Chains A and B, each alone.
Chain A
Amino acid sequence: MITTDLAIDIKNLNFCYPDGQCALKDINFSVNSSESVALIGPNGAGKSTLLLHLNGILRAQCDISVCGLRIEDRNIKEIRKKVGLVFQDPEDQLFSLNVFEDVAFGPLNMNYSETEIKRRVSSALQKVGMEGYEKRSSHHLSIGEKKRIAIATVLSLDPEILVLDEPTGSLDPRGKWSLIELLNGVAVTRIIATHDLELVAHLCSRTLILDGGRIVADGSTEDILGDEVLLKNHGLGK
């Protein structure tokens, strides 16, 4: 029985890449709506692979529901509108010739009207504090600016769930804290894959540890970040 206040519900997710390497083993968890969940784990734990399952880019034989919709072909458009996935490298996310087209790409694919698209682009850019960047070319922005624009490219779809892969990677401390502040102001369900524990402590109430493709811990952020032995065992402590 799926209730609609579950944002994400994953049952028995196993995933192996075509080369035989199994990246995810027996993943089960659910996320309530408006919850902010951190997904931490060492490099190569399968975090990015797991995130790609949340909007059906990768699909395995399993049961994943997003906002009450099962991931299958007929729901995929609706699901991709609801799940905003921000990739680790903004260079992959910003593929258009200027910022406006990048931010408008999602709404355009949803066939919104021109005025609606313009409204969505300017509101998304405003949310990330990047008004007036519409005509700039994405290649010439700084890494911090790119990260913000990358977030705007999914905010323009008004997602119910924001999924971020390493949002603070390669940012300087000032860039990192201003990004944390920005994310704090976006009131949606959040799933953040990272190994930046400061970010976790500030943004997420719940934390999952993923190691070797399995979820090895699931609990409140306070408990998990307080357990130094657990963190150390999974490559996250000193």
Chain B
Amino acid sequence: MKHSFIDEYSDLDSLIHKLDPRTKLVGSLAFILAVVLTPLNNWKVLTVYLGIVVILVLLSRLPLRYLLKRSLVILPFVIMVTIFVPFFNQGQVVFSYSLGFWHIDITYEGLSVLANVTIKSWLCILCLIILSSSTKFAGLLQGMYQLKVPLVFVQIMSFMYRYIFVLVDQVMRMQMARDSRNFGNNRKIVFKTLGNIIGMLFICSYERGERIYAAMLSRGYTGEMPVTHRLHFRLPDACFASAMFVLLVFPAVIWW
């Protein structure tokens, strides 16, 4: 079965794609930090940061539709966390509602926190999508490794990326097998089989892990992951990093 990968557009050829993954990693981290640290309701700074995202999108030649569609995935999570904020913040009441002994106030302050958090997380996720779609996953891992991210994390991510679709395939096969024998809609049975599928999946993954480890040992694995090639900083990286630095710090200095 075919699946789309998170680095679906990493084969495009653009200025952003050609950068050293480390530049992009550090740049994205700096961007996220700057966005998160921006004080409440500082819309001028956030507009500049949105401008940065727009420039990155244009430079990276990633399809806009794809980016926006991907970025929507994060919204339910953000809304789940922030939806109650307007009800609990103290301040000027915009709207109030009484339901028997329940009294609900929505405050202006609460709404603005909601707007800020939503916009900020959307900017951050856009930045991460640009990072992951403009960089080969292997390059990203290599970059993390050379940035001294602990090897265990890098390896876990590498195996996750390699095997997640093997697992998804397995789940799909199990579901098909279940559906082809499932005639009623007894909810109790549905949940029970779901439990079994999850259990089976855990055991299968565990055993696969053992076999992979044996395959690694067979080829002389000693616990260290040797590196095939090293990344190199070049002039465009330096230019990109300085431009990013200026664009992030300048508006903050003026308008914070």
On A, residues with C-beta under 8 Å from B are: 52, 55, 57, 77, 80-81, 83-85, 87, 89, 91-93, 95-98, 100-101, 104-106, 108-111, 114, 117, 137-140, 153-154, 157
Contact = CB atoms under 8 A, between A and B. Distances in A.
B65 to A, nearest CB: 24
B211 A100 contact: no
A154 B141 contact: no
B215 A97 contact: no
B162 A138 contact: yes
Contacts of B165: 139
B219 A105 contact: yes
Nearest to A108: B226
B222 A109 contact: yes
A92 B215 contact: yes
Query: Which of B137, B159, B220, B228 has the most CB atoms of chain A within a 10 A radius of its CB?
Result: B220
Given A92-B208, A92-B214, A139-B165, 17 more contacts: A57-B214, A57-B218, A77-B220, A80-B218, A80-B220, A89-B211, A93-B215, A95-B163, A95-B215, A98-B138, A105-B219, A106-B219, A106-B220, A108-B228, A110-B220, A114-B228, A154-B218
B217 interface: yes
Interface residues of B, number: 28
Contacts of A137: 5
Interface in B1-37: 2, 5
A117 B214 CA distance: 22
B79 interface: no
Interface in B127-181: 137-138, 141, 158-159, 161-163, 165-166
Contacts of A111: 226
23 contacts: A55-B218, A77-B220, A80-B218, A81-B220, A84-B218, A85-B218, A91-B166, A95-B212, A96-B158, A97-B158, A97-B162, A98-B138, A105-B216, A106-B219, A106-B220, A108-B228, A109-B219, A109-B222, A109-B226, A114-B228, A139-B165, A154-B218, A157-B220
Nearest to B208: A92
B162 A95 contact: yes
Contacts of A52: 214
A164 to B, nearest CB: 12
A67 B5 CA distance: 44
Nearest to B138: A97
Contacts of B137: 97
Which 3 pairs across A and B sit closest by C-beta, in order of nearness?
A109-B220, A106-B219, A108-B226
Given A95-B159, A95-B162, A96-B162, A101 B228 contact: yes
Interface SS of chain B: helix, strand, loop or mixed? helix
A140 B7 CA distance: 14
A87 B211 contact: yes
A57 B161 CA distance: 26
A106 B215 CA distance: 10
A96 B221 CA distance: 13
A137 B138 CA distance: 10
Query: Which of B137, B214, B222 has the most CB atoms of chain A within a 10 A radius of its CB?
Result: B214
Contacts of B226: 108-109, 111
Query: Which of A81, A83, A95 has the most CB atoms of chain B within a 10 A radius of its CB?
Result: A95
A153 B138 contact: no
A110 B141 CA distance: 22
Contact of B219 (A91, A138, A153): A153
A189 B208 CA distance: 28
Contacts of A95: 159, 162-163, 212, 215-216
Contacts of A93: 215
Contacts of B166: 91, 139
Given A98-B138, A101-B228, A111-B226, A92 B211 contact: yes
A104 to B, nearest CB: 6
A57 B221 CA distance: 12
Contacts of B163: 95
Contacts of B229: 114
B223 to A, nearest CB: 10
B228 A117 contact: yes
Interface in B197-256: 208, 211-212, 214-222, 226-229
B227 to A, nearest CB: 8
B215 A87 contact: yes
